[in-house]
Amino acid sequence: MPKTTKRHIAVTGGAGFIGSNLLLHLVPNHPDSLYVNIDCLTYAGNLANLQAIENADNYVFEKIDICDYNALKECFDHHGIDSVIHLAAESHVDRSITGPAEFVASNINGTFNLLELARVAHEQSREFRFHQVSTDEVFGSLGATGYFTEESRYRPNSPYSASKAAADHLVRAYHKTYGLDTVTTNCSNNYGPYQFPEKLLPLMIRNATTGKQLPVYGDGRQVRDWLYVEDHCEALELVFYEGETGETYNIGGHNEIENIELVRMLCRTLDDLLGGGPRENLIEFVKDRPGHDRRYAIDPGYIKKKLGWVPRYTFEQGLRLTIQWYLDHEEWLEGCLSGEYRRYYEMNYGKR
Ligand code: NAD
Ligand code: TYD
């Protein structure tokens, strides 16, 4: 990416799980970049996550739906946006099965709107970098062995992964056809602070600490490759600022674990920390997710070789930090489920 003294970067989905962690990382680290957080605050967006940076000189929040092209255009013009780090998406596989329409709208049409704005800038010979933040789920399911590499075929199996795959293809096409400066990252399952408690880890932590059933889908032998969110954010920072144009990078930390084993580890850790239990008794095998991918695993060799990225957290460290964070932020967890987010927005931004 060509170096400019000050970049004006739209971070879409900045109020979500990864977006919040990313902005909390980037804003203090790059005082000469302006970060414009574009988020429409769905159930998954929470501005309270960003209190530590909300008054920073190089941070602005704009409540905009990426499906609204005109609102996006006005915002891009107003802030002189010259790059996008695109995270805004509907992100939960189970929701995509019961209601795929929003996934097509936000993940495909929303990405298209952003690309169109990027194309206008590029065709006016303005520097513009577009970073598509995507998932390993676009590659579908692995068998018992092997890894996803940058060469793996796209074979998405859920409406969520299909919508992300479509968006990745549009990004690729805008690079090949229009010469837009793009980078794409495909990352494995993240865990850490601020993850909405519909996803495996925070859901299980909440249920296990409140004595509720721990619903494990199918036989629980599905494998996910877990990465601590801070490690993902460092990889995103590196790819955005230093990645090669037109390239894609797979991000993962070689942390494959079966769901059932993860839930058992979690139960044992909570028993250690809080006493009581055994919480494993709360585990219940429930009906499987339709089209459930069996195994994901990333080969992160390329990003390591090209950009020198390696994760800093072991799984044991990351898991301890994550569990402790949720134990210390019980009100955050409950707020997610009670609509507390909305009240925070009204209080802090409603009159602006
Ligand atoms: P999330 O659901 O926690 O957050 C998504 C954010 O996007 C929310 O703040 C939401 O309000 C916003 N948003 C959704 N639709 C929008 C729209 N139409 N306009 C504006 N804002 C909108 O998701 P996450 O887990 O933080 O994931 C962020 C990105 O990273 C997604 O693109 C996802 O596909 C990708 N990703 C996630 C993981 C993971 O394990 N969570 C792994 C790899 C890639
Ligand atoms: P999830 O956090 O939804 O992420 P993804 O589907 O994007 O990988 O789920 C992680 C794994 O945990 C997945 O194999 C589904 C499984 N799972 C359960 O067994 N029970 C649950 O309640 C949830 C939410 C997920």
Q: pTM of the predicted model, to two decimals?
A: 0.97
Whether the predicted pLDDT of 3 surpasses 90: no
Question: Rounded to whole angstroms, how far apart are CA atoms 36 and 59?
Answer: 6
Report the nearest atom of ligand 2 relative to the CA of 91: 7
In angstroms, what is the span from residue 254 Cα to ligand 2's centroid? 18
In angstroms, what is the span from residue 235 Cα to ligand 2's centroid? 23
Residue 22 lies in a domain: yes
Residue 179 lies in a domain: yes
In tens, the pLDDT along 88-114 reads 999 999 999 999 999 999 999 999 999
Nearest to 90 by CA among 70, 105, 68, 72: 105
The confidence score (pLDDT) of residue 338 equals 82
Q: In this structure, what token pair is assigned to residue 159?
A: 């409406």
Hey, which of 87, 185, 226, 262 would you mutate to test ligand 1's pocket, going by the most ligand atoms within 8 Å of its Cβ? Answer: 87
Domain that holds residue 171: 8-189+226-254+292-314
List pocket residues of ligand 2, CB cut-off 6 Å. 93, 189, 199-200, 203, 215-217, 222, 224, 259, 289
Residue 126 lies in a domain: yes
Whether the predicted pLDDT of 142 surpasses 70: yes
Q: Whose CA is nearest to atom 6 of ligand 2?
A: 93
Q: How many domains does the chain have?
A: 1
Q: How far is CA 61 from CA 7, 56, 88, 204, 254, in A?
A: 16, 11, 14, 31, 35
In tens, the pLDDT along 317-349 reads 999 999 999 999 999 998 888 876 666 667 766
Q: Are strands 83-86 and 7-12 parallel, antiparallel or unpaired?
A: parallel
Whether the predicted pLDDT of 350 surpasses 70: no
Q: In this structure, what token pair is assigned to residue 100?
A: 């795929």
Residue 217 lies in a domain: no
Residue 344 lies in a domain: no
Residues in the chain, total: 352
Q: What percent of the chain has pLDDT over 70?
A: 95
Ligand nearest to the CA of 295: 2
The confidence score (pLDDT) of residue 339 equals 73
Report the nearest atom of ligand 1 relative to the CA of 41: 11
Hey, which of 198, 205, 224 would you mutate to test ligand 2's pocket, going by the most ligand atoms within 8 Å of its Cβ? Answer: 224
Ligand nearest to the CA of 345: 1
List pocket residues of ligand 1, CB cut-off 6 Å. 13, 15-19, 39-42, 44-45, 65-67, 87-91, 106, 110, 133-135, 164, 187, 189-190, 196
Q: Which residue has the tokens 């409406």?
A: 159
Question: Rounded to whole angstroms, how far apart are CA atoms 34 and 94?
Answer: 35
* The one-letter amino acid at 258: E
Residue 269 lies in a domain: no
307: three-class secondary structure by DSSP: helix
Residue 173 lies in a domain: yes
- Domain with 67 in it: what CATH number? 3.40.50.720
Residue 96 lies in a domain: yes
Q: Whose CA is nearest to atom 20 of ligand 2?
A: 216
* The one-letter amino acid at 283: I
Q: Whose CA is nearest to atom 13 of ligand 1?
A: 88
In angstroms, what is the span from residue 215 Cα to ligand 2's centroid? 10
Confidence tier at 277 by pLDDT (50, 70, 90): confident
Q: Which residue has the tokens 């459930």?
A: 292
The confidence score (pLDDT) of residue 334 equals 87
Please give the average per-residue pLDDT across 36-61, as a whole number. 97
